[in-house]
Amino acid sequence: MSAKEEMLVIKRGYDLSKWLLDHTGKFPKSYRFSVAAKIENAILDFVEMTTVANMRQDKLPLLRRADEALARLRLLFRLSYELRFINLTSYEYGSGKLDRSRAAGRYGGAPWIAPPSLP
């Protein structure tokens, strides 16, 4: 993956984190320390893992953890929509941003997107 493609993954994750952090603050009070906190942690984990991986030679372990954070985020984001913490427009927008963050890695040849090889 080129440096430009690596930066695209980080930038898209960072942009998504700003957008999500703005929305989780509007969740019902009873869910701010559960669902909202998990969403915030997942997106921040993704941004942190991709940023640190960018500085390492052995990127694969961190990129796999970033992909796990993205999977958790996708599940929690869907739950937020189904519980009506976010409206359909926000759900579609956020889902698109999640897909674009993942696609930035896939099209850039990021190894965390490839399925694991069988022994």
CB-count exposure of residue 95 (10 Å: 0-12, 13-18, 19+) = middle
Task: Choose between 49 and 118: higher pLDDT.
Answer: 49
Check residue 113 and give its pLDDT. 47
Average pLDDT, stretch 2-24?
84
Domain boundaries, the chain: 3-107
Q: Which residues contact 90 (CB under 8 A, 6 or more apart)?
A: 23, 81
pTM, two decimals, is 0.81
CA quadruple 69, 77, 43, 92: dihedral, nearest 10: 120
Residue 98 pLDDT class (50, 70, 90 cuts): confident
Task: Report whether CATH 1.10.3720.10 matches the domain 3-107.
Answer: no
Name all contacts of 21-30 with Cβ < 8 Å and 24+ positions apart.
23/86, 23/90, 23/94, 26/85, 27/80, 27/85, 28/85
Question: Are 95 and 77 within 8 A, CB to CB?
Answer: yes
Burial 63-77 (b: 16+ CB within 10 A, else e): bebbbebbebbbebb
| 32-61 confidence digits (pLDDT tens) | 999 999 999 999 999 999 999 888 888 889
Average pLDDT, stretch 83-91?
95
